[in-house]
Amino acid sequence: MIEVITTAPLLTVQDQGRFGMRHLGVPRCGMMDAPALLRANLLLENDPLAAGLEISAGPVVLQSDRDQHIVLSGADMSAQLLLADMQTVVQNYLPPGFIMRWPAGTRLLLNRPQIPGQRAVLAIAGGIDVAPTLNSRSTDLNNQLGGYQGRALRAGDRLPVGEAANQQFSSGGIRQPAITMSLRAIRGLDYEHFDPQSQNALWQFPWRVQANSNRTGLRLSGPTLRYQGDTLRLSAGVLPGLLQVPGNGQPILLGCDAQTTGGYPVIASVIEVDFHQLAYATPGTLLYFREVSVAEAQGLHSAGQHELQILRQQIQYRKQAR
């Protein structure tokens, strides 16, 4: 078991997301930086769909009743291992991206991200073993389902951990990918219904993330995007990554917790390989959109899958060498 000693806002259990339910009005949810969790699970020889914790703020303090192996990813939380007195340091710094041993009875202190609001990922060998809801362990805060009792974690909560596939890890790790805030996107279904000035502005100007952004969507400010199509629109299905434009001309970039239908025009869609960067887009961050074709997006997806396959092979070689 892992006990939450000290919590912070929006500390939640998340996995790769809840798929195949959007026709029923159930959003995807899941880790904002899902690739970070996937890579960490591979390092720990977990099921790729194993759940971890998404940390959005600090400090967070956790204690385990047995030895664990963990991987921290995403934002650097300046993590430390301490004894229960919170004064005696066992390990002064746990670097992101590496397998680290978490001894029983010690406390894992996750301080604060260096840039407030950026998210970190904690994966544990065996995974957070809460009961699945609708085929996922992800927390859906808007609908209060999944995760741990459908809510953010509180002090005193105790989380079960699954059985680890391996108890003797070597100190392996992987490099953290760069976060550029340059988001490649394809044209949306309504792109041609925006005037030429708006089309050019989308790709040429930076877009600032507003303070009223969250996991459902990032509200952006920049040049006004003018829609010239039919304003009497029926609602249609929407997905994370779509860039909707409401009547004020300031776009909304849909996140993991996005609703399943919407009526605003869609000017573009961020491609899957760049979507994880939304986990690090805090208020005030400048985003840049770069247009790619559907064929380019498919090629980038294939390249990402190839990199994951190489990582799987490297981990398999490590297992065979033990």
List, for residues 223-243, the tens digit of each pLDDT value. Answer: 999 999 887 788 999 999 999
Beta-bridge partners for 257: none
Question: Hey, where are the domains in the chain?
Answer: 2-159, 182-291
pLDDT higher than threshold 90 for residue 176:
no
57-112 residue pLDDT tens: 999 999 999 999 999 999 999 999 999 999 999 999 999 999 999 999 999 999 98
pLDDT of residue 36: 97
pLDDT of residue 98: 94
Stretch 2-21: mean pLDDT: 96
Q: Could you tell me which of 173, 161, 178, 145 has the C-alpha nearest to residue 108?
A: 161
Look over the chain and give the mean of its residue pLDDT values, rounded to a whole number: 94
254-301 residue pLDDT tens: 999 999 999 999 999 999 999 999 999 999 999 999 999 999 999 999
Would you tell me how many other CB atoms lie within 10 Å of the CB of residue 104? Answer: 10
Question: At the fourth CATH level, which superfamily is domain 182-291?
Answer: Cyclophilin-like (2.40.100.10)
Strands annotated E in the chain: 2-6, 12-14, 52-55, 60-64, 68-74, 79-82, 89-94, 99-102, 107-110, 120-124, 158-159, 182-187, 207-209, 217-221, 236-237, 242-244, 252-254, 261-262, 266-270, 286-291
106-141 residue pLDDT tens: 999 999 898 888 999 999 999 999 999 999 999 999
Cα 256 to Cα 271: distance, rounded to the nearest angstrom: 13
